Amino acid sequence: MIFGTLPSGRQVESVELSSGRLRAEVLTYGAIVRTLEVSGVNVVLGLDTLEDYRTRSRYFGAVVGRYGNRIAGGTFTLDGVEFRLPLNNGPNSLHGGTEGFDSQVWTIAERTGSSVTLTLTSPDGDQGYPGTLTASVTYTLADDALRIDYTAETDAPTVVNLTNHSYFNLKGGGDVLDHVIRMEAEHYLPVDEDKIPTGELAKVKDTPFDFREPHALGERYDGAYDHCFVLDGPVQVTAGDLTMEVTTTEPGVQFYSGSMLDGVTTPFGAFAGLCLETQHFPDAPNQPQFPSTVLRPGELRTSTTTYRFI
């Protein structure tokens, strides 16, 4: 099904997936998860038109890359060579730059009634990143879960950090301040005024970042979270009778509560949805103490994240 047509004339397709009580719609533009229904309730925020995705918000439900999250100063050095990236978040490069993977048309490589695989080739120098990178993302509905599998390969050394930027609202509307979060994470990454990690892995104990026991989102810190947590196990989000459990092979998750949604640049107001972006750490190319995001020729980068509904 055709969802819309870009000014270039290229068409964007919509793919419907279903399994049991789950239904989803995936767009080839940005590999976006536009809808995810659980027993008829849409639990992700989506936009109405392709023009909305192009002009009102770039990240709703999209795969972001090459590098999800922030790189300080829009620069990093790899094998002694400095690379400069577009600055699109104050002094930083965010989510791959001004024309990241979220604004590209992906190609459908394979599809069934319950899964779809999308691929994208990012040429050498794309947004300043070295190497031609070939990425794929597979969305699969099965066993009351949305599973996301990522792969990436390169022909020259580069950095990569792929994630999905869906906003979840398990009630299907209203705000998420009453959503209860439980997160197996003993550490989080403090950030400076530009939201760049200081390099410390700080203990969550005795801080508003301790979700090892369940807490409502709006209970502390004014609900305004936008931090990376170091995962030791699953994340659970509960609203009413529905719980979403997030498991991943990635070392961290960026927990963003949607506090900066403003109802102007998007049709949604503050706290309309929360993000759980499973990923490597922000600014890892500049912080060698963090798990490496370097990918070299001959290597296959893979990761898996599952959002299971209980």
Q: Which residues are catalytic?
A: 165, 277
53 is in an annotated binding site: no
H or E stretch covering 243: strand 242-248
The Cα–Cα gap between 133 and 286 comes to: 20
The Cα–Cα gap between 182 and 60 comes to: 23
**CB-count exposure of residue 23 (10 Å: 0-12, 13-18, 19+):** middle
| Residue 55 dihedral angles phi and psi, to the nearest 5° | -120, -25
The Cα–Cα gap between 186 and 182 comes to: 12
70 is in an annotated binding site: yes
262 is in an annotated binding site: no
8 is in an annotated binding site: no
166 is in an annotated binding site: yes
Cβ atoms of 264 and 257 closer than 8 Å: no
Cβ atoms of 65 and 160 closer than 8 Å: yes
The Cα–Cα gap between 109 and 264 comes to: 36
40: helix, strand or coil: coil
- Give, as one character, the DSSP assignment of residue 55: H
The Cα–Cα gap between 274 and 224 comes to: 10
64: helix, strand or coil: strand
- Give, as one character, the DSSP assignment of residue 10: -
167 is in an annotated binding site: yes
- Residues 10, 303, 113, 309: what is their CA dihedral angle, to the nearest 10 degrees? -120
Please state whether beta strands 202-203 and 158-159 pair in parallel, antiparallel, or not at all (unpaired).
unpaired
Residue numbers belonging to the annotated binding site for beta-D-galactose: 69-70, 165-167, 226
Residue numbers belonging to the annotated binding site: 69-70, 165-167, 226
